[in-house]
Structure 1
Amino acid sequence: MSESGVGESDAWRAGILLRQVHQRKHQAIDAALAALGVSMSQYVVLLAVVEHPDSSAHELAVSTAQTDQSLGALVRRLVDSGLVERTSGPGRVHRHRLTARGHDLVERCEGVVTRALKEEFSALSDAELAQLRDMLERL
């Protein structure tokens, strides 16, 4: 491949590195949350419900960057586990809120996730981490 090829570009390499960091972070958080009986994917949905109470499944899927189908399966498991409650909305739409048990679990997860993230980003100073966040938000 020539130096001008996509595979040699800074943009391509940055994308690969972002994916690798994301995968390591996901695995570390999954491992940390396992003791609480929740996965990172479930935790992300629980946080989305906290941040956007009464959201539809589609709205939650958009806010968590998932497909409607995969989000639907996750929400069903969270409802069946008694962590999320589903109420009827307009038409066929269902609205979602955390139950008291769901709120308790999110609170217990906070310290675990904070410690895992601190470890995963320990190579960066606070200023560098803020700069990284700023750059990613611009994308």
Structure 2
Amino acid sequence: MSTDLQLLGRALKQVQYRHHRAVDTRLAALGTTLVQWDALRALARTPGASAHDLALATFQSDQAAGTLVQRLAAQGLIERRAGPGRRIAHHLTPAGEGMLAAGTPVVEAVLRASLAPLDDTDRATLLSLLDKVLSVPVTD
């Protein structure tokens, strides 16, 4: 018996979409979005990242990440500093750290509820399987 790969791909996308919508809805009460929170998380992990680095870390185009960093800077959540050469380095401000801290339990709660049908062993297996899939590059 062969698994329907399109059905599997759709199920992966459906879970992602469900998480995105639920998190976005809850983060709106804090005045942010999942995309913004994810960028703050990425900058917390890699302070001084360029907009290009941020684009890669958050699965966005360079243009979208550029717009995002402008928006975050205008909100006072990040600051832009001169880096080596012409590079602009991005860093969290105290307000950005606060927004990240406020949003993290929201994201965790959505993931916990969504993955509740799986026990710890199932979650570890799922993560292992996804890591296995992600280890193989997809060719164009």
Give the TM-score, by structure 1 length.
0.90
Note the residue ranges of structure 2 that are not aligned, 5 or more in a row: 134-140
**Residue aligning to 1:44:** 38
Note the residue ranges of structure 1 that are not aligned, 5 or more in a row: 1-7
Which deviates more from structure 2 when the two are superposed, residues 110-119 or residues 19-28? 110-119
2:52 equivalent to 1:58: yes
Separation (CA, whole Å) in 2 of partners of 1:124 and 1:21: 14
**Residue aligning to 1:73:** 67
Which deviates more from structure 2 when the two are superposed, residues 40-49 or residues 124-133? 124-133
Q: Quote the RMSD (CA, aligned, Å).
A: 1.3
**Residue aligning to 2:76:** 82
Secondary structure, aligned partner of 1:138:
helix
**Residue aligning to 2:138:** none
Which deviates more from structure 2 when the two are superposed, residues 40-49 or residues 115-124? 115-124
Secondary structure, aligned partner of 1:86:
strand
Q: Is the 8 A contact 2:40 2:100 kept in 1?
A: yes
Q: Deviations over 1:7-47 (max 9, x none)?
A: x8532221111001100000010011111001001111000
Separation (CA, whole Å) in 1 of partners of 2:64 and 2:54: 11
Separation (CA, whole Å) in 2 of partners of 1:126 and 1:37: 32
Query: AA paired with 1:38?
Result: T
2:4 equivalent to 1:20: no
Q: Deviations over 1:76-106 (max 9, x none)?
A: 1000000001101123210011001111111
Separation (CA, whole Å) in 2 of partners of 1:138 and 1:128: 15
Give the TM-score, by structure 2 length.
0.89
Secondary structure, aligned partner of 1:26:
helix
